[in-house]
Structure 1
Amino acid sequence: MLSYLQCLRALCFFSLAVVFPVLGEVVDLKNGKVTLQDSHIWRELPASIELANIDSATLLLPLQTGYEHLPIAPSLGGESGSYITKLLLKPSADGRYFVVINANFIDIGLSAYVSGSQSRPQLEVFSQLADDATPHLLHFQSFAIQVNESETVELWLVIKAKQFPTPVSISFYDPATFYEYQIYNNGLSIAAITTMTLLALLAILVYLSTKKRVALTCAGYLGLHGIGWAAASGLLDDLFNIPTNSTYWGMMLFPFAIACAGQFVSDLFDCPSNHKKLFRFLRVFSVISVVLGVTMWFLPFTTGFLISHLLAMVWMILTLSIGVTMLKIRDYRAKYFLTGNLLYSASLGYYISAHSHYFGELPYSESAVVVALSVDCICILLCLAEWFKLQQIEFNRNYYLSRTDAMTKLGNRFALSECIEQLNGFYVVVYVDLDGLKTVNDRNGHQEGDKLIVETARLMQRSFSHRGSVFRSGGDEFVSILHAQSAPELEELTKSCRSHMDALSYELSQAWRRAGVSFGIATSVECDSAKDCIFLADKRMYQYKSINKKLA
């Protein structure tokens, strides 16, 4: 069936060459690359011609007036429909040359070429939907022609698309130059798309482990961009042989990617709590993006193309403004965010310049955009990492504050409870109650009493921090838990604790009259559990206090 259609199309183009024998653009094929710019080289085919079911009758009948009478398009940039051109190629050597049509979207692409030594035209099909036999070139379509140095080649091209976003130039490569270009073009694009996809999967894994929405919106941001560019470049069709022209999908998925991006920015900078106006704006912007994304699938592609580009312009201005604003208020999550978007904006400027008449064709413009976007996605994931880092810092800070006594900087009752749960082996518990605090408060004020508490904490830290931990378990109560390696060492440690506590009590009494400490000591060998040890030390402390009161 395929060969039958090819014969019909070859006959069609051969008929074109005979019926309309007019001169076309002359191209001198040289070693390397030669590009024919899109300037009055294409002629518009009548809308009545249905290229999807082309044969000699259906094509030739509307063209009775001749090729030279078809309207000339100054440029295909921004146009849509079906166009034809005739080129005269003058080779500089025998062999193969590769023809590249520099257009993103090609629904139908047909070519036929003839030379003096050929008895019939050679047909090539290079559309997105029939590119199995052509060299795979992401973002563009290509095919090969066989030429002889001594013969001029007459090449006819027909292309059809819903939208030609940029001028459609035609490039001719010798094999070595083409393969080098193919490696760089495809390699950069595949690496960039793979990077975006893997980063999106990583963000999903982060979401599954943390359940934080910021990771999910980040995954949507990265993943939809990756899928969109895989579709727009033609990679998705190459991998899965999709029956429709999937290159349009990149543009159609873009609003959904922007919606996820808007929510990611809102989550990244904690807008619901810290920037309420921006939060409301981004929420409305995301909803509008989703509505436009759904609506675009039911509109003409040219309208959807315009909507996506307007969204892109608004989003780039918005992200740059947000990035600069966040840096001004020292939110350093914005450093990666702004860097990625600046790079992506620069690549878009390069892309636009590459397809303008002022700068001419610039190399790898499509690849530059997709690579810049992949770097932007890396920066976005770094933003996510920075968000989690700040969350961890905040958690650690709250954790510290919740387990630290604000006055003495010792561990509080919560920290003591955690320590008790983890106790094992040989240890000593010293339970301390501060004496004379009420007297100091009554005579010198609570500020002086606070100084007494702080000094007691300092002296206990000095005495015991090298062997364990000190906690403030209540207003004037302290607990030290000290560790030993063996029973004999435990006995020595107990004696040392008594000596230290007597010295501490004496030192306090020198600074504050009638101040001192009552203490009780218990060891792990005396008790079945840590809680029992605490209870025994507390009991002995009260016994010590009672004896001191009687002596006083």
Structure 2
Amino acid sequence: MVLLFCSHAVAGDFFRLAGKSTLEINEIGVWHKVDSQEPLSDFSSIEKWLTHAQPIEGTLVGHSGGYVTRLALKNNSAHTQTWFVNPTLTFVDIGLAFWQRDDGSVERLDEFSQLNDDRTPPLMHSQAIRLITQKQEQGYLWLYVDAKHYANPLSIKIYNAPAFYQNQLIVNVITIAAITVMLTLALIAVIIFFRTKNSITIACAGYIGFHGIGWALAAGLLDDIFSINSVNLSYGGILIFPFAIAFASQFTKLLFNCQQESFILARYLNTLAFACIVIGLLLPWINYSIAFAISHIIALVWITSSVAIGTKMLRSKFPRAKYYLFGNLSYGTALLIYVLLHAKIITISAYPELIVLFALAIDCICILLSLAEWLYSQQKNYNRSIYLARIDPLTNTGNRHLMNEKFAELKNNFIIVFIDFDGIKSINDQLGHEKGDLFLIEGASLMKRKIHDKGDVFRTGGDEFVWLFDVHKKNDLAALVRKTSILIAECEHELRQQGWYSAGISYGVATSLEGNNQSECLSLADKRMYKHKRSKKALLNPHEDQGITSHI
């Protein structure tokens, strides 16, 4: 199978495709500028302009308007062959193709613009024209394109059918997969917002979502899905890009708590976000080539800023910075490759857009991971705050707030024991408050060990504690009340063994059978505790406080 061709500008020079599945035609010297104010629409007008026009010797990158070319092709095979001609156009408003045979007959091929490509094979980031040639057939392929901006060198690739479908599969699968990943991650961030109400999640959703939508527009995916013939949606990717960076800057500010950690950095990110929003609102009203350049400048500014911020935050021991930095380094490296490809400094056969798109998908995954790390740290801080708000810091027992919560959860029978340590005032007065605190710590620890998994211990005041037992069976109440008296006696005995010779425990017990609610039972246990304390004092020597011995 052999395909021979030559361009109008270099007639007589033939390029062979023999034993190869793909041929790439460089843009230099192939395209001719069309200076008509009106777009061309038929073969005769295209032929007329090509007759008088001179070929463009430089690259079309950065230019706009209409261009035409004529390629001399020959199917040097004994069989009918199907070829796919692929101009590497990111944006195209008009794309016309004609096949002119040697006998002078002209066949109009499928249109391949973003506005009208219903019959052409869908290919992300560029267009394709199906050309069927008979055996030994030769002729001229005429192409006319018109676009507001040429982002890439306008080379032409010619594939045989197997090579094209393989290329189409790779390009479309990578593109759709990357865009799907980004939009799915953005949706996850939105769902997280409705559950947490944290503004950082909306910033993350905007950051990832606008990138995903932007590439769905630029790649031509939304044009293929919605087939809107009046609007070229592919330009929208560049136009909405500043909004993605506005969200990205706010996400970064919130991710690293810049309001508290770095006022200057927070002000910079706020300024960048505001500038991007203003630019985003203005871009649709200016020349598209200028808009394209502005968006790329914003991209370079953002990549530089994000990598610098990520590096700084990683040095500041922010764990989430590792994901943030890795993602932006991947994206920044891909953008650098993209620029070098456009500048012809390096050459890669794959579409440069795919490299950037793949790296951006990795970046978005890393951004969501950094959000997850932030949410995890917030959850830890929240749990710690909840813990500190419900735990007595000295004795590490529950405080009154936690006791009230436990009371609210009670559904069965219960026992409340109100406890007051005797002798704490004398310990404080004679041994000092540090010894008094140590006594409370050891007393609380001893009580927790004694009741273990049978109930809970709460500190409700200076030396006042409450035991709470949730009893499932009503018949178990009496036995457990007797058990509490034994446990308190054991606590008192062990405290004295530890050196607190004059320490004692006054207590009162009440059960759920003795009150209408927990408050009544707690009040009854409190009264019984004071009654127990008075009865003990009546038996004590009036000079009991003088006999305190130091705790050893």
TM more than 0.5: yes
**Local SS of the residue matching 1:411:** coil
Structure 2 match to 1:14: none
CA displacement, residues 438-480 of structure 1 (integer Å, 9 cap, x when unaligned): 1111111111111111111011111112211111111010111
Structure 2 match to 1:493: 480
Structure 2 match to 1:295: 282
Structure 2 match to 1:13: none
Residue type matched to 1:338 in 2?
Answer: L
Structure 1 match to 2:514: 526
**Local SS of the residue matching 1:77:** coil
Specify whether residues 148 and 504 from structure 1 end up closer, same or farther in structure 2 by C-alpha distance, changes over 3 A only: same
76, 79, 83: which one pairs with 2:60?
76
| Matches of 1:523 and 1:548, distance apart in 2 | 23
| Matches of 1:185 and 1:25, distance apart in 2 | 32
| Matches of 1:154 and 1:204, distance apart in 2 | 53
| Matches of 2:170 and 2:47, distance apart in 1 | 41
Residue type matched to 2:430 in 1?
Answer: R
Structure 1 match to 2:32: 43
**Local SS of the residue matching 1:191:** helix
| Matches of 1:325 and 1:361, distance apart in 2 | 33
Query: 1:41, 1:74 within 8 Å by CA — same for their partners in 2?
Result: no
Structure 1 match to 2:547: none
Task: Tell me the matched-pair count.
Answer: 529
Structure 2 match to 1:142: 128
Q: CA deviation at 1:62?
A: 6.1
Q: CA deviation at 1:229?
A: 0.8
Correspondence list, 1:403-442, <5 A: 403-442=390-429
TM-score (norm 2): 0.91
Q: CA deviation at 1:199?
A: 2.0
Residue type matched to 1:188 in 2?
Answer: I
Q: CA deviation at 1:423?
A: 1.6
202, 226, 235: which one pairs with 1:216?
202
**Local SS of the residue matching 1:98:** strand
Specify whether residues 124 and 118 from structure 1 end up closer, same or farther in structure 2 by C-alpha distance, changes over 3 A only: farther
Aligned-CA RMSD value? 2.2
Query: 2:9, 2:30 within 8 Å by CA — same for their partners in 1?
Result: no
> Does 1:311 find its partner at 2:298?
yes
> Does 1:98 find its partner at 2:87?
no
499, 512, 516: which one pairs with 2:504?
516
Residue type matched to 1:533 in 2?
Answer: C
Residue type matched to 2:217 in 1?
Answer: A
Q: CA deviation at 1:362?
A: 2.1
26, 31, 36: which one pairs with 2:14?
26
441, 444, 458: which one pairs with 1:471?
458
**Local SS of the residue matching 2:149:** strand
259, 274, 279: which one pairs with 2:261?
274
Identity %: 39
In structure 2, runs of 5+ residues without a counterpart are: 1-5, 541-552
| Matches of 2:293 and 2:353, distance apart in 1 | 19
| Matches of 1:25 and 1:86, distance apart in 2 | 13
Query: 1:26, 1:90 within 8 Å by CA — same for their partners in 2?
Result: no
Structure 1 match to 2:536: 548
| Matches of 2:110 and 2:210, distance apart in 1 | 34
**Local SS of the residue matching 1:51:** coil
> Does 1:244 find its partner at 2:231?
yes
483, 490, 498: which one pairs with 2:470?
483
Q: CA deviation at 1:59?
A: 5.5
Query: 1:28, 1:91 within 8 Å by CA — same for their partners in 2?
Result: no
490, 493, 496: which one pairs with 1:506?
493
Q: CA deviation at 1:371?
A: 2.5
| Matches of 1:354 and 1:173, distance apart in 2 | 22
Query: 2:193, 2:202 within 8 Å by CA — same for their partners in 1?
Result: yes
Specify whether residues 101 and 307 from structure 1 end up closer, same or farther in structure 2 by C-alpha distance, changes over 3 A only: same
In structure 1, runs of 5+ residues without a counterpart are: 1-16
**Local SS of the residue matching 1:330:** coil
Q: CA deviation at 1:230?
A: 1.0
144, 158, 163: which one pairs with 2:149?
163
Q: Quick check: 501-510 or 329-338, which moved more?
A: 501-510
298, 311, 335: which one pairs with 1:348?
335
TM-score (norm 1): 0.91
